[in-house]
Structure 1
Amino acid sequence: MLPKHVKQPKTLFSFEVVLLKTFSLSKSLKSAALEFEVLYKCKMTPVSSPSLSMAQCTGLQYEPVAEIGGGAYGTVYKARDIESGKFVALKNVRVQTDQNGLPVSTVREVALLKRLEQFDHPNVVRLMDVCASKRSDQETKVTLVFEHVDQDLKTYLERAPAPGLSPERVKDLMKQLLSGLSFLHSNRVMHRDLKPENILVTSQGQVKLADFGLARIYSCHMALTPVVVTLWYRPPEVLLQSSYATPVDIWSTGCIFAEMFRRKPLFCGESEMDQLGKIFEVLGLPPEEEWPTDVTVSRKNFPLLHARPITDFVPEINEEGAQLLLQMLTFDPLKRVSAVKALEHPYFQDEEPATQTESLNQGVKSAAGGICV
């Protein structure tokens, strides 16, 4: 039975039935009602066949135009909203279900992302809609509909004319990136997979974080298939398989900060151990007391290396920028600067705004995979 304050629909679509089954498992009726209300406001697509394709599932409102990306979590499509004519990005999540319906964790994660929309933060891509279809008794496809931006940061850097972005432009991009990250962290959302490919940049130079929160939705329920995910932006605690929290995003942001100046990644490892080695070659081997105790990899596996000046690797960065970068690339996550504290750093004081002309000069093209050179 639906919570009293949620209007009873005339007809329940199959996905809604799955949702209702899910809420029977929730510990808190109030929490479950809120989660259902958030998702029920999204347009649920009626299902006539468990084998509907993406186009059929979204055809009532969204017309797929082109495949624009893919990766560990599936394919991303550019589509047109038939009602408004605007372009959107469609991301599909295939979630395993059982007799109890969708896992409560999935409903809660999607509901949390949908709640963030009400804040309309300028540096976070909007989750505009959620639609779903039950593919079989064991699987439901959830389609997340995001606002579409044609250019990511990787493309933006590639298209920057020599010698690259100006220091003022880098500072502006970093301030926007940290602003979006601070907002997510304050709402208990951890990105976990920050990299230039999922940081979007509009033609006006506005930064928008994308794919936040999705790693947690996917990782719990995606099929156990081999995937290749870049290691270059992963922090030591993740590489060592230690416990982690929001500081993982700060490390990734530091790597991206350096890359904005270098126009190529800072650490380019080929495996977890190699990636750690690349990090220690720059930052030095951390002291024994900072090595996590909940890991199987021993500190003794690595040579005793001393830190080198970060300006050897990022020569264009100024002194205050170098200080902030090192605070982001701190081995101990408990000592790593937070997003909100980073925004208060002297590096961002007395900044000169980047010109709009410089932003518009960065061309727009589809993102492609990159390598270190």
Structure 2
Amino acid sequence: MAGKWRCLSRQPTEWLKGKVIGSGSFGTVHLAIDSSTGALFVIKSAISDAGITSLKNEASILENLDSPYIVKCIGKDVSFAENGEIKHNLFMEYMAGGSLSDVAQNFGGALNEKLIRLYTREILEGLRYLHKNGIVHSDVKCKNVLLGASGAVKLADFGCARRLNDNKVSSHKTSSQRYNGIGGTPLWMAPEVLRNEALNFAADIWSLGCTVIEMATGRPPWGLDATSKNPMAALLKIAKGHELPEFPRHFSDEGLDFLQKCLERDPEKRWTSEKLAGHPFVTGKLTYTQCSRKEVAFSPTSVLDVARYDSEYDDDSCSPDELVSRVPFSVKCCFMEQNFLLPKHASENQLESSDNWITVRSR
């Protein structure tokens, strides 16, 4: 292994690789077991140039982080694939519960507000830690929040993360990191990020608000029904319009106010992670307005009970994997005004994935 590596946990020296438990444009994720201890961990592997760049960026971000709210990286190495190509590997902590997206799908499609408050509080702790260390995650969403067997959640997937100078970096400057631009998942991106303006910690707060909506509804923010006919128009609406994604109708007063503080279109007015950590939504009890008694009267069988929605999006015949398209990274991109971020022939499913998106800028 080339280069100096500050390992916060003992790196496995002898291990067995198990089944594939995830994949993306970067490569694959395998379950693995440490032969000397019997401990489980995961291996993220990449062969493509884009995947290796993402993996190296993730390693450089994680190598000096140590927080109970951030997934741990326990080492890295280089090996050879069966065809002789060089494969870069990153050893990561194993989170038995999978992602919050998996949890929601396994328990009816959406989460109860009591559980959302718990998870949001821990996501916020992770963001507070990152922001104090000058790092913006850039891709906060349910798929990138992992659940441990004990119920603890941790932020994961730092392939798009950025280490900011003076707490701010301008996205029009050339970067040596992933795709020479800002990454992320379009429907969770802040308006200013889609406009290719300066990136700062406020972008993570917008994505957090979108993630809360995702937990509460089981759907992406903005909803697939709004993007199915013209996804480019949907992105233009996010970037240049004045609307906000629809808030969950069954949410408490505190939940609605929390979303309002996260989804402020002006990034300067958006609450910080530090300030949000003291919000009643993550510190207090549920309070409902008179008009929301209908939702309060609903008595779930558990905190993981599904929220009720009248939507043609809910389709039991469609598996979670079918909701995310996997297409080659070499998606053609086109220019829009003000260096807008858009793919050609985008489908609604591509807007739910951080795969295949690059920043297009004039030179």
After superposition, the Cα gap between the structure-2 partners of 1:193 and 1:134, relative to the gap in structure 1 and judged at 3 Å, is: same
Name the counterpart of 2:192. 237
Q: How many residues align?
A: 276
Q: Which residue of 2 aligns with 1:303?
A: none
- Aligned counterpart, 1:146: 92
Match of 1:275 among 219, 235, 249: 235
> Quick one: which of 7, 23, 30 aligns to 1:70?
23
Q: How does 1:157-176 map to 2 (within 5 A)?
A: 157-161=104-108, 164-176=110-122
In structure 2, relative to structure 1, the CA distance for the partners of 1:272 and 1:229 (3 Å cut) is farther
Alpha carbons of structure 1 residues 39 and 236: separation in structure 2 relative to 1, 3 Å: same
Query: For 1:38, what is the secondary structure of its paired residue?
Result: coil
Percent identity, please.
27
Aligned residue number for residue 201 of structure 1 = 147
Distance 1:351 1:316 in 2: 15
2:201 alignment partner, one of 234, 240, 246: 246
* CA distance, structure 2, for counterparts of residue 324 and residue 239 of structure 1: 23
**What are the ranges of 5 or more consecutive residues in structure 2 without an aligned counterpart?**
164-174, 287-300, 307-318, 325-347, 350-363
Within a 5 Å distance, the mapping from 1:34-183 to structure 2 comes to 36=4, 38=6, 61-94=14-47, 110-116=59-65, 119=66, 121-133=67-79, 141-150=87-96, 151-161=98-108, 164-183=110-129
Q: TM-score, normalised by structure 1?
A: 0.62
Distance 2:10 2:279 in 1: 40
RMSD: 4.0
Greater helix share, structure number: 1
Q: Does 1:321 align with 2:276?
A: no
SS in 2 for 1:193: coil
Which SS does the other structure have where 2:199 is aligned? Answer: coil
Question: Using the alignment, how far apart are the partners of 2:119 and 2:69 within structure 1?
Answer: 10
Query: Where does structure 1 lack aligned partners over 5 or more consecutive residues?
Result: 1-14, 20-35, 44-57, 97-101, 287-306
What is the CA–CA distance in structure 2 between the aligned matches of 1:40 and 1:165, rounded to whole Å?
A: 33
Q: Kindly provide the CA deviation profile for residues 164-207 of structure 1, in whole angstroms up to 9, marking residues without a partner as x.
A: 53322111111011111111121122211222111112233211
Give the corresponding residue for 1:261.
216
Q: Note if contact 1:69-1:75 (Cα within 8 Å) is conserved in structure 2.
A: yes
Distance 2:198 2:63 in 1: 27
Which residue identity lines up with residue 331 of structure 1 in the other structure?
Answer: R
Which letter does structure 2 place at the counterpart of 1:80?
A: I
SS at match of 1:174: helix
SS at match of 1:129: strand
CA distance in 2, matches of 1:278, 1:221: 26
Are the aligned partners of 1:39 and 1:130 in contact in 2 as well (CA < 8 Å)? no
* Cα distance in 2 for residues equivalent to 1:129 and 1:317: 41
In terms of Rg, which structure is larger? Answer: 1
Does the aligned pair in 2 maintain the 1:95–1:222 contact within 8 Å?
no
Letter of the 1:231 counterpart? P
Q: SS at 2:250's partner residue?
A: coil
Q: Secondary structure at the match of 1:185?
A: helix
Residues 252-307 of structure 1: CA distance to partner in whole angstroms, max 9, x if unpaired?
11011112221212214464542242677xxxx34xxxxxxxxxxxxxxxxxxxx5
Give the AA of the match of 1:92: S
How far residue 142 of structure 1 moved from its aligned partner, in angstroms, is 3.1
Q: Distance in 2 between matches of 1:171 and 1:267?
A: 21
- Matched AA of 1:72: S
